[in-house]
Chain A
Amino acid sequence: MAAIPIITPVESENTRTLRHVFSMILREPLSLLSTAVIMLFILMAVFAYQMAPFPEEGAGKTHASNTLLSPSAEHWLGTDKLGRDILSRIIVGARPALIIPIGVVLFAVLIGAPLGALAGYKGGWLDEVIMRITDLFLAFPSLLLAMAIASALGRGLDKAAIALIVSWWPWYTRIARGVAVGLRERYFVEAAQASGVSDAIIIFRHILPNTLSPILVQATVDMGTVILAMGGLAFLGLGTQPPSPDWGLMVSEGRGFILDQWWIATFPGIAIFVVVLAFNLVGDTLRDIFDPRQYK
C-alpha cells in the first residue's frame, strides 16, 4: 500500500474545478501518458469482444491444435497451453480487471467513508467504538487479511471480491474521520446545527463532499493496489478460477512454461504492471494537485 496521505481539510472545493484538475494532469507528459493508458484500458474493457482478434478464445474456448505457439503475425502475443490467443485473453480480461476493482473500491468507500464521517462528526463513544474496530482491521496486513477471508469463504471471484472489500474499507474510514474531525468545529457546520439541520444531512451535504478529494486520491491509488491484490489472489489459486481470463491467473498458468514458452506468463504480467503503474502515476499527480504542500 502506498503511504497514507496527510489530511489537510480543505476549506471548499471551488478552486479545484474539474477543468483545473485536467489541465494539471495534461500538463505533465508522464501523467498524460498514464491517463492515455487508463483510457485504453477502459476502452478494452468496454469494447473487449470487438477489439480482440479471437474473441471466443478470449472468453475461454480452447483450440487444441494451436497450443504453445510463439508470437507471430497471426497471434501477436502467442498462444497458451490450450491454444488460446493471448492477446485476446488479455483484452477480454481487461473487463473483469477493471470492473471488479472499481466495484471493490466503490463498496469500500461506500462502507468506510460514511462510517468515518459519522465517527469524526459525532465524536464521543461512537467515535471510539468505530475507530477501535477500524484500527483492529488495520492491525492486519491488508492482503493477509484478504487471503485469510478468501480462503475461508472458498475459491472464486466473488468471494475474493468480498474479502478485499472487508480488508480495504477501514482505510477510507480513517480518511473520512480525519476530515470530519477537522470540519466539525467550522463555522458553517455550527451554523447548520444552530438552524436545526439534522445530523444526517450535515454529514451527507457538508462533510462527505469535503472528503472527496483525499478519498479520490486514495481510491485511484487503491485501484492499482486492488488490481495487484486480485491478481495475487488469482495467482495463488484463491481468487478467480479458470477458465476466466484473469491476468493474475494467466501468469500463474504460464509459470511452468517460463523456461521455454516465456510469453505466456510475461505478457499478462506486463499488462498488470502497466495498468497499475498508470493508476499510481495518476494518483501521484492527483495528490500533487490536491495537496501540493506534501510533495513537490
Chain B
Amino acid sequence: MKRSSALLSVLVVLAVLLSACGAAATPAPATQAPVTQPPVPTATEAPTIVPTPAPLVLKYASSANITTWDPIASFSTEAAYMANMYEQLLRVNAPGSAEQYTPLLATSWDKSADGLTWTFHLRPNVKFHDGEAMNAAAVVKSIEAEKDHAGASFIWLPLASVEAVDDMTVKFTLSYAQPLELILGSEYAAYIVSPKALDAAAANKDYWSTGVDAGTGPYMLESYKADQEIILTKNPDYWGGWQDGQYNKVSVQIVPEATTRQQMLESGDADIVTTIPGDSYATFATNPDFTVSTEPALFNYTAFFNTTKKPLSDVKVRQALSYAFPYDDIIKIGASGRGTQSHGTAPNGVFPYSADVKQYTYDIEKAKQLLKDAGHPGGGFKLNMTYASENSTEEAFAPLIKDSFAQIGVDVTIQPMQFTEQWALAKADPAKAQDIFLLLYWPTYSDAGGDNMYSMFYGAKDAPHLNVTNFNLSYWYDKDYNDLWDTANGLSGTDLAASLAKYTEAQNLMVDQAPAAFLFDTKVAIVTPNKITGFKYNLNYPDVRFWFYDLRAPK
C-alpha cells in the first residue's frame, strides 16, 4: 500500500509538471486584446491603451542560408541579404532596361581609350551603418581586400592597382582590358565595406561570425538566430531616402524545404518566398491573389560528355547523342516549360549570348544514322549519368533522357548523388568518372564569355580537367577553340561588338564538337502576392530575388 501510494503521488506530481510544460487542457481565459496592444497591462485600474503602430514587416520564407556574414568572403546564397545591406559602386541593370547601369556609390565614371584606366566619381555624403564616411579611401580599402582574399577574388585578376585620386575619386588600372563595370557590379566580391570593420576583421577572425553589418545599404541587420531567422531593419539615414509604404522591417525565416515554403505562402505565413517546388507554380498562376511571372535567368543546364572514355571520345557519337536529347520535353517536364533551348553555353540575356550559335534538334532518326556512321549501329553501349539529388529539375528530366536514349539503343543508368559527391567523382579520375554529368551553372558576374566559355570549356593540353576554375567536366581540349577565346576575351574590354563576333565563332566550333549537350537556359518563375508592389527581377543578381527597398506594402 505504502509503496503504491508513493508511486501514485509521484505520478500526480509528474502530471502537474507535464501540464505546466505541455499543453494545458483549457487555455487561460483569453483577454480579447487587439493585436496592437502593449503586451502586459500592469496597473489595477484599466490602463489607457495607446495602440503602438505595428511596424510594416515583410515576411520572407527563404531557402537562402548564411554561410558567412563577411561581405568580402561572401560567395553564396547569403547574397540575398547582403545585397540589401551592402552596395557596390554600381548595379548592372536587367537586360532591356533603358540604362545599362544604375549608379550606386559611384555617380559617374569614364575610361581610357585602351580600356586600361578607369576613373570613378563617388557619391557624396554617404555613411556606413557604423557611422564611418564612405569615400575614396574606403573604396580602395574594400577593393584591395577583395582582390586579396575574397571568396570570388578571381574576378579581380585583371586589376593591376586601385588608388584614391582625391577624397571622392578612385582610379582603377587594369593589366588587360576587361569590362570593368560588369566586375564592379558583381553580386560577389564587389561590396564597399566600412574601413573600421575591415580593420576589426583583420584583427579578429571571428569578427563577422556573430552577425555584424558594415554596409551602406537601405537595410541593417537587427538580429540573427542561426539557421532560423534574420531580422533586418531600415537604415533611416539611407542616401536614397524613404517614402510611405516602404517596409520598416524584414523578417526572414530560413526554410530549406520548398514544400513548406509553398505552404507558408499559401497560408499567409510568408509574404514572399524564394522558390517553391517547380511544378507548383501552375497552381499559383490560377490563384487571383498571386502573380506568377517568368523571367530569363542566367542559369543553364548542360550535359557534359566524358570525352576521355569510349565511345564518347568519338565526336560523331557525341553529335549523335546530341540529336537524341528531347529538348522540348526536358523543358516542359523538367522545368515546367520555363526555359528555352540553349544556343551554346552563354545564357539568354547575358553577354555574349547569340541566337546565331547553332543548336541540335531532337531527331531520333538522325541520331540513329550518326551512330551507325560512327560504327555503333543500333547503339549497344551503356552510359552512366549522374545528377545532383538536391536538384528537383534534374531529377525530373533525367528519366526523359534515359527513355529517349533507349530508343536509339543506348542504355543509360541514372545515378542521383549529392552534388559534392558527383563533383568528387568527376574530379578524381576521368577514366573512372561518370559518362554524363548534368550540371546547373551560372556565371559569377554577367560575363559568360569570361566565365562559362572559359570555366567549362577552355581546356589545358595536359590533364584538361585540371584547368584553373575546374568546371571542364568533359575534359575537353581544343586548341582552335582556345585561340578564338583568347582573341574574343582580349577584345571584350574595348570593343564589345567585335568580341561578340569572335565569341560566337568559338561557340559554334564548340557546339559542333559537342563536348557537351547544351540543354536549356532557364527562366525563373517568381510568385508574388498581388498586394505587394515593386517587384523587378534582375537576372544579373541571381541570388537576390527581392530588393526590399523597392517593395511597397499594401495600402
Contact = CB atoms under 8 A, between A and B. Distances in A.
Is any CB of A less than 8 Å from a CB of B in the complex? yes
Interface of A: 60-62, 64, 67-68, 81-82, 154-155, 237, 241-243, 255-261
A81 B279 contact: yes
A155 B389 contact: yes
B332 A260 contact: no
B333 A82 contact: yes
A109 to B, nearest CB: 31
Nearest to B287: A260
B280 A256 contact: yes
A251 to B, nearest CB: 11
Contact of B416 (A241, A256, A260): A241
Interface string B494-538: 000000000000000000000000000000000000000000000
A68 B282 CA distance: 10
B484 interface: no
B36 to A, nearest CB: 30
The 5 closest A-B pairs by CB, nearest first: A256-B259, A81-B279, A256-B262, A256-B277, A255-B259
A243 B399 contact: yes
Given A68-B282, A155-B416, A256 B276 contact: yes
A60 B399 contact: yes
Interface of B: 258-259, 262-263, 266-267, 276-277, 279-280, 282-283, 329, 332-333, 389, 395-396, 399-400, 403, 416-417, 421
Nearest to B267: A259
A256 B258 contact: yes
A68 B395 CA distance: 19
Contacts of B280: 81, 256-257
A61 B267 CA distance: 33
A257 B262 CA distance: 9
A241 B399 CA distance: 12
B389 A259 contact: no
A155 B332 CA distance: 27
A233 to B, nearest CB: 14
B111 to A, nearest CB: 49
A198 B329 CA distance: 66
A255 B267 CA distance: 14
A260 B395 contact: no
A60 B396 CA distance: 11
B391 to A, nearest CB: 12
A65 B416 CA distance: 26
Nearest to B266: A259
A62 B389 contact: no
Contacts of A82: 279, 333, 396
Nearest to B416: A241
Contacts of A67: 279, 282
- Which of B262, B277, B279 has its CB near the most chain A CB atoms (within 10 A)? B279
Nearest to A243: B399
Contacts of A68: 282-283
Given A242-B395, A256-B262, A258-B263, 9 more contacts: A60-B399, A62-B333, A62-B399, A64-B329, A154-B417, A155-B389, A155-B416, A237-B389, A256-B258
B262 to A, nearest CB: 5
A260 B259 contact: no
Contacts of A255: 259
Contact of A257 (B283, B395, B400, B417): B283
Nearest to B399: A243
A256 B389 contact: no
A67 B276 CA distance: 17
A249 to B, nearest CB: 12
A256 to B, nearest CB: 4
A256 B263 contact: yes
20 contacts: A61-B403, A62-B400, A64-B329, A64-B332, A67-B279, A67-B282, A68-B282, A81-B279, A81-B280, A154-B421, A155-B389, A241-B416, A243-B399, A256-B263, A256-B277, A257-B280, A258-B263, A259-B263, A259-B266, A259-B267
Contacts of B396: 82
Contacts of A155: 389, 416
Nearest to A83: B333
A61 B403 CA distance: 9
A17 B280 CA distance: 56
Contacts of B267: 259
Contacts of A242: 395
A256 B273 CA distance: 14
A88 to B, nearest CB: 17
Nearest to B421: A154
A66 to B, nearest CB: 12
Contacts of B416: 155, 241
A258 B266 CA distance: 11
Contacts of B403: 61
A154 B421 CA distance: 10
Contacts of A261: 283
A196 B259 CA distance: 66
Contacts of B259: 255-256
B283 A260 contact: yes
Contacts of A64: 329, 332-333
A64 B333 CA distance: 7
Contacts of A81: 279-280
A186 to B, nearest CB: 38
Contacts of A237: 389
Nearest to B332: A64
A266 to B, nearest CB: 15
Contacts of A243: 399
Contacts of B333: 62, 64, 82
A154 B418 CA distance: 9
A82 B396 CA distance: 9
Contacts of B417: 154
A20 to B, nearest CB: 41
A64 B280 CA distance: 14
A155 B395 CA distance: 13
A137 B277 CA distance: 38
Nearest to A256: B259
B234 to A, nearest CB: 33
B43 to A, nearest CB: 45
A261 B259 CA distance: 14
Contacts of B277: 256
A67 B285 CA distance: 15
B394 to A, nearest CB: 11
B286 to A, nearest CB: 9
A219 B262 CA distance: 40
Nearest to B279: A81
B422 to A, nearest CB: 12
A255 B261 CA distance: 12
B386 to A, nearest CB: 12
B442 to A, nearest CB: 25
B52 to A, nearest CB: 34
A90 to B, nearest CB: 20
A64 B282 CA distance: 13
A155 B329 CA distance: 26
B150 to A, nearest CB: 34
Nearest to B417: A154
Contacts of B266: 259
Contacts of B395: 242
A89 to B, nearest CB: 14
Nearest to B389: A155
